[in-house]
Structure 1
Amino acid sequence: MTEASAASATPVGPLDGLLVADFSRVLAGPFATQILGDFGADVIKVEAPIGDETRGWRPPERDGVSTYYLGINRNKRDLILDFRDEDDRALAQELARRADVVIENFKPGGLEKFGLDYESVAKENPAVVYASITGFGGAGGAGLPGYDLIVQAMSGLMSLTGDKDGPAYRSGVSVFDIMSGLQSVIGILSALRHRDRTGEGQRVEVNLLSTALAGMANHSSTYVAGDTVPFRMGNAHPSLFPYEPLPASDGEIIVVAANDRQFAALAEALGIPEVLDDERFQTTDGRNVHRDALRPILVEALSTATIAEWFDRLTAAGIACGPIQTIDGGVQLAERLGLEPVVTVGEGDRAVPMIRNAITFSKTKPQYRLPPPTLGEHADELRAWLATRAEQETTA
């Protein structure tokens, strides 16, 4: 265990003993380091004097602090460093030299002038796992802005989102930032496993465009393997029907029948078993091709009852379905299912309700030790620790 993490007397997690130098900001990087912190890593969030810009992205807010920032920055200690200042730059270099993991999302080459790029850090710390997150990769994408919205547009995702004859839409979530954060965690843990075996560190690189193309798995494959460009279909699925919202008497309900057995059960539950005798609807391919003929039959049947009634009936029949809810409904559903989605981090006036980590372990459970830090909250202890270590190394 590092001296820094030992001093904080944190509970043991699966990554206990790992020191993470977090030079990232906004979403992808902080989301990744929050996960590492949940699993026990000692994460030191390094901010410029003006702070992570998401601190000011409000409304919405809680006690004057952006809920955007609060949602992705627990389990971190905070240090303000100005890389343009010689003394602060030396402390940043010392932190990187001692870290097991360094993560950053500067523009490609942006840290070279500060001696904090991979080559400089690895020279002093060859066992480091150094993760870089960019929008479009290294040198070739250096001039392109790495915003999730831009990548949604340029990757093709927006062309798939929206009604067939309407405008393209962004996803309601910064989906590729979040996915890139997850990819970074996967890469970091894989590189740490390699280091466990060999003692060698390495660089891990993730970019939003590659994440987007990999994440649009079946749609990307439609083009590269099928030589067909996918197009937006509203809420419809290109290969399955029904797999979309359909109107009940008081609104829409999602109905899914992804194979022949499921469709047979749906037909029985809707009281239209005769459709099973129609050759057009007897196979997945047939239902997909003839969806325009099948949809009115399903809609007529569903019009006889409400969303709530159909949810109860179809669920009882083992058919996948669900109402379209807002976020509060999603959280409340998780609560009813016993998933305990909300955890309070911190105490007193620092207590913050947060969505808990999505992963559970039978033994090494995620920990919620520290609320999202105020800007420079742990500066004194961390500066003293880094300066002491640097002084010890100089006099040794």
Structure 2
Amino acid sequence: MKKILPLIPLLFLTACSTQNLRGTGDMGLIIERAIGQVQLVEHSGNTSLATIKGLGDLSHASIVYSRDERYGYVFGRDGGLTKIDILEQKIVKRVMQSGNSIGGAISQDGKLIAVSNYKPGGVKIFNSDSLELVADIPAIYAEGKQSKTVGLIDAPGQIFAFGLYDAGEIWVVDMKDIKSPVITKFKDVGSLPYDGLVTPDGRYYIAGLFGEDGLAMLDLWHLEKGVTRIMNHYGKGKTKLPVYKMPHLEGWAKAGDKILLPAVGQHEVLVMDQNWKQVKAIPVHGQPIFVMSRPDHKQMWVNFAHPRNDTIQVIDTETLKIIKTLKPGKAVLHMEFSPRGEHVWMSVRDENRVDVVDTETFEVVKSLKADKPSGIFFTNRAHKIGL
């Protein structure tokens, strides 16, 4: 009996600690842009778990995750890079790395965090554990000229790629040797590259061009081929509309042999085939911002720029027809699918809420309060290229 009694407190403590164990695979962070905080949520029960404050200017913020899905790295508009511990629900470290930043990426091995900057223009790369600076790459393209950097993505092989908005260039940075980064520069790719995407296999980097029609495409497997122009005349003969918000190419969508992406300055979603040729333009409610594929690729969900940003439209990928128009409320800024696609979460900024919508019935199954919500980022992004 004397031997058994000392074990009882130990067993009790073990049981208690086991009850507190929790994975992060069904978690995510929502940007509450007006007050500089994020809301921690989980999509198994569609609940809010906590808020984490002190993240600065989040007016154009994005997040990437560590490969174990424990840490989120928040890129703030004020140049702040913040590492968040999701399990402990707190900020681990925060560094002010520039005066104005516009997103970032995490390397293939998860050891490097790259940040794209407007001011001063360039990319800075940090150790993901300590947030110590590893590489500083100013986007100097001519004597005395430094460009904003945009469309920063990660690709296999410890590669980062990004565009130089003011210079009309694309740079590719190979970080296999962190002491000696290899930078390959592609000039004259087109006027004002404003955003970029990478195909899900990590092979093709595509930059949207705001200053002219078309897209600039780079084969990351064969850099020696240089940049190819695709979709050069998708807007030919049409008067461009005022652009109130730039579309996000990272929200592009691929379904089977079709690729859908937003048109700039038109109320259209463009459809390309596998040869990067336009096969159709789908008329939609407004200027599309995100064209996002449900994980099974059966549907594409589209949101729109101001002043028509109270609407979501759903496109069937087999027929390429709109099958549903939703009116969630004022300023639907962002959408995020649960990993298997049964729900889509959408931020309704001016209604101060996030809706969870069933993607089959289109019914709202849950609404969560949020202060001016914008970006929604689930942790399963940790295992996707370019996100």
TM-score after normalising by structure 2: 0.31
Greater share of residues in strand: 2
Greater share of residues in helix: 1
- Which of 1 and 2 has higher RCO (CA within 8 Å, sep 6+)? 1
TM-score after normalising by structure 1: 0.30
